[in-house]
Amino acid sequence: MHTSMKEIGGYLELQLPFKEQFYTNLINLNSGRSCLEYILRAKRFTKIYIPYYICDVIFEPIRKMGMQVELYSINENLTLKSNLKLNDSEALLYVNYFGIKDDYLKTLSNQYANLIIDNAQAFYSRPNKNTITYYSPRKFFGVSDGGYLAMKDKIDIELDLDKSYRNSNFLLTRIDAGAEEGYKDFRSNEDRIRTNGLKRMSNLTTAILSSLDYVSIKQKREENFYSIHNELGSFNQLKCISRNIQGPMVYPFLTGKAGLREFLLSNKIFVAKYWDNLNNTCDENSVEYLLATKLVALPIDQRYGLSEMNVILNLVKSFLDC
C-alpha cells in the first residue's frame, strides 16, 4: 500500500478556477512590509531615504532592522522636491502614488542605483529588471494578505508559511452582509499584518491570486479611472495624471473645497484616506499636508462599471456645484 501525504476525499473546500498568478517569477511573501524587511535583510543598506508622504507602517521593518532613516519631500507632481545625494550603501524608496507615476520611475532608475519602488498602490506596474520593486495585492484584490517582491538577491533563511484562513472572514462577510458588517474584522486583519512577521505567502492567498482574470480587471480599472477623469480632470488640482496609467488603484481627486470625503461617506461611497499620521508630522503649508487632508481617493475598482462611476460623478458635481 502506498501512503499519500496529500489528503484525498472528505468534505469539499472552496473551489476556485486555477489560472496563473500575474507575477509568476517573483518572491511570494505575506505582505508588502514583509517585502521591505526582506529587502533590508538581503541588501544591508546603512541608510534609507523615505518620503514624508507614506503610511507610517513602513517604518516598522526599518525600525526592526535598526536602520538609519532620512525623510524627503515631494512636490505637487508627486516627484522628489529636490535631488538627493546617496552613497553606495544608501537606498532611496519611492512610492508609485495611486499607480499613476510609471513614467517617473524610469527617470529615478536612471538617477539612483539603489532604488526601491513601493508599488503597493500600483499592482500592474511591472518591475524594471534592475530595480527592486514590491507589491501589496490586497490593495487590488479580495485577499487578506500577500506580497510580491522583485529582487535578485535572496536571504538564507527558511521562512514559515503564513496561514490566512482564520483572518479572511471579512471577505465572506462583505458578500453576505455588506462592508460595514465586516469592517471590524477587516481592521483586525490589518492589525494582524502589523505583527505577523516575515513569512511566505499563504496557500489560500496563493489560490485566490491564481484564480483571477487579470486582463479584464486591469481594463475595468482603467475604463473607470478615465471615465472619472474625463469629467473631473479640469476640476482636479492634481495635474500630473497622464494617459499612460496601468490598472490604477483609485482616482486621486484633489479639491480645495473641504468636506467632500465626508459628503461621499454619508452617501455610502467609501473612500480611503492617505495618511492620517501626516496631519501631526508635516507643516500645514507642505504638499504632503495638502494631500493628506484634501485629496479624496475615488473608488474605480473592478467591482464597478460606468453606472457606479456616474453615481460618484453626480455626487461630486453636486458637491462642487458644477
Nearest alpha carbon to residue 251 among 219, 224, 220, 231: 224
Task: Please state which CATH class domain 214-320 belongs to.
Answer: alpha beta
Residue type, 137: P
**C-alpha cell belonging to residue 118:** 513601493
CA 17, 22, 24, 26 dihedral sign is negative
Q: How many residues does the chain have?
A: 322
pTM, 2 dp? 0.93
Assigned CATH for 27-209: 3.40.640.10
Residue 304, CB half-sphere, CA atoms under 13 Å: how many?
Answer: 20
pLDDT of 88 reads 93
pLDDT for position 114: 95
Domain spans of the chain? Answer: 27-209, 214-320
Predicted pLDDT at 2: 54
Alpha-carbon distance of 42 to 39, in angstroms, equals 5
Q: What is the DSSP string of 86-150?
A: --TTEEEEEE-GGG--HHHHHHHHHH-SSEEEE-TT-TTSPPPTTSEEEE-GGGTSS-S--EEEE
As beta bridge partners, residue 201 has none
Helix intervals (H) in the chain = 32-43, 59-64, 102-111, 169-177, 179-195, 203-209, 214-232, 260-266, 278-281, 287-294, 306-320
Going by the DSSP 8-state scheme, the letter that residue 71 receives in this structure is: E
Per-residue pLDDT of the chain (322 residues; tens, 9 = 90+): 555 577 888 888 888 888 899 999 999 999 999 999 999 999 999 999 999 999 988 999 999 888 999 999 999 999 999 999 999 999 999 999 999 999 999 999 999 999 999 999 999 999 998 899 999 999 999 999 999 999 999 999 899 999 999 999 999 999 999 988 999 999 999 889 888 899 999 999 999 999 999 999 999 999 999 999 999 999 999 999 988 899 999 999 999 898 999 999 999 999 988 887 776 677 888 999 999 999 999 999 999 999 999 999 999 999 998 6
Residues 73/52, Cβ–Cβ less than 8 Å? yes
d(CA 133, CA 201): 17
Q: Of the candidates 114, 110, 52, which has an alpha carbon nearest to the alpha carbon of residue 89?
A: 114
**Confidence (pLDDT) at 11:** 84
Inter-residue contact 159 to 198 (CB < 8 Å): yes
User: Which pLDDT value is given to residue 130?
Assistant: 86
**pLDDT for residue 164:** 95
Helices (H), 92-162: 102-111
Distance (Å, rounded) from C-alpha 292 to C-alpha 308?
25
**Do 57 and 194 meet the contact criterion of CB atoms below 8 Å apart?**
yes
Termini Cα distance of the chain = 76
**Which DSSP string corresponds to 167-179?**
G-HHHHHHHHH-H
Cα four-point dihedral sign 39, 45, 51, 55: positive
